[in-house]
């Protein structure tokens, strides 16, 4: 990694997307680990990741979503046991009395239509996501919400160099003297 990248700070979008990706590491879903971060005025309000409702057995603990299925998506007619990351972030904010009106949300996977409706109803009008997900039928409703100015969606990516810098910070101590800084705590 060159010196210029080493000294570059992430943009706010990159920073919050990295936090959403970090939240996804807490996911207990076997099929789609997803993370979400609700942000207002550059401050994190709440985070969420997908998994079964609080108190229920985690899919990763039992090795499946439903007994007898080889994978979570083996039967499309069965609903997911997971509460989506966006819904969990909204629930965390509500549980702790944190207002989300006027906030933004960063998600690793584009919100499904149900989560998008929750996001809009919670007063969040900006959605930043990494990976597209919506199917064609849901896209019609999503696009209508966009045209009605209820929400803005923007796909964002994390540049490889910034991901490598973040990985370096995760893998190595960060609070060490870095040549030239003689400040002591």
Please list the active-site residues: 86
In angstroms, rounded to a whole number, what is the distance separating the alpha carbons of residues 149 and 146?
Answer: 5
In angstroms, rounded to a whole number, what is the distance separating the alpha carbons of residues 16 and 11?
Answer: 9
Pick the closest to residue 161 from 31, 38, 48, 14 (CA basis).
Answer: 14
Structure tokens at 76: 């499309």
Burial of 177 (0-12, 13-18, 19+ CB in 10 A): exposed
DSSP lists the bridge partners of residue 51 as: 83
Helix H or strand E encompassing 49 = strand 43-49
Structure tokens at 23: 């939240």
In angstroms, rounded to a whole number, what is the distance separating the alpha carbons of residues 93 and 115?
Answer: 15
Q: Are strands 152-155 and 126-131 parallel, antiparallel or unpaired?
A: parallel
Q: Are 125 and 150 in contact (CB under 8 A)?
A: yes
């Amino acid at each position: 990694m060159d010196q210029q990248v080493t000294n570059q700070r992430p943009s706010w979008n990159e920073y919050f997307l990295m936090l959403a990706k970090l939240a996804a590491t807490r996911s207990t879903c076997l099929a789609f680990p997803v993370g979400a971060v609700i942000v207002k005025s550059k401050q994190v309000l709440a985070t969420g990741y997908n998994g079964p409702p609080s108190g229920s057995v985690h899919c990763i603990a039992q090795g499946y979503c439903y007994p007898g299925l080889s994978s979570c998506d083996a039967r499309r007619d069965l609903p997911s046991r997971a509460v989506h990351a966006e819904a969990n972030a909204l629930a965390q904010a509500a549980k702790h009395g944190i207002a989300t009106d006027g906030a933004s949300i960063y998600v690793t996977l584009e919100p499904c239509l149900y989560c998008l409706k929750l996001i809009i109803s919670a007063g969040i009008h900006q959605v930043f996501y990494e990976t597209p997900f919506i199917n064609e039928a849901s896209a019609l409703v999503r696009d209508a919400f966009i045209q009605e100015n209820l929400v803005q969606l923007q796909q964002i990516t994390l540049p490889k160099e910034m991901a490598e810098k973040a990985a370096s910070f995760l893998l190595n101590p960060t609070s060490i003297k870095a040549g030239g800084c003689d400040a002591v705590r």
